[in-house]
Amino acid sequence: MDEFGKRLKRDAAAIRAKVPPELRARIDASLVGVTPVHSAGRRPEAAKLWWASSLTGVAAAALVIAFVNWRSHGPETAPVDVAQGVTVPEHAGLAVPPALEFRTADFVSPLENELDRLRSDIEKARESLRKDLDFTF
């Protein structure tokens, strides 16, 4: 610690701050009436059971894998002639699907707009930070 640090410590020690017995008695008396709040975060029993959740996770994963394997090795069905199963409505040939004329810009422009907005937000945040720093220093 440098000289200034020692000076700070020395001068702090020169402050006469002795808690009088009356105050101590007051503190002790007030503590008697206080009920400690038990934090939800302090659960040593739960900490000891960490393996239970891991075991459950492993068991669930094993079940899923087994099920998927069973499905993939199940009895194969006979190939179906797709053309037979499909019935084409009579008016199908008449209906003209709407023209899907999308340009690349249609897909890209919303993203570009979003990017512009993000850039603008970053610039505002940077400006705000710069102002704060100017104010602080």
Question: Closer to another protein at the Cβ: 26 or 117?
Answer: 26
Which positions ≥6 away from 1 have C-beta within 8 Å?
Answer: 9
d(CA 101, CA 52): 56
Q: If binding is defined by CB under 8 A, does position 88 make contact with another protein?
A: no
Number of residues that bind another protein (CB under 8 A): 33
Q: If binding is defined by CB under 8 A, does position 117 make contact with another protein?
A: no
Q: If binding is defined by CB under 8 A, does position 42 make contact with another protein?
A: yes
Q: If binding is defined by CB under 8 A, does position 47 make contact with another protein?
A: no
Find out whether 1 and 9 touch, Cβ atoms under 8 Å: yes
Count of residues for the chain?
Answer: 137
Subset of 50-69 contacting another protein (CB under 8 A): none
Residue type present at position 126: R
d(CA 42, CA 46): 9
Stretch that binds another protein, among 1-9, 54-62, 66-74, 87-95 (CB under 8 A): 1-9
- Count Cα atoms within 13 angstroms, Cβ side, for 68: 6
Positions touching another protein (CB under 8 A) are 1-5, 7-9, 11-12, 14-19, 23-24, 26-28, 30-31, 34-39, 41-42, 136-137
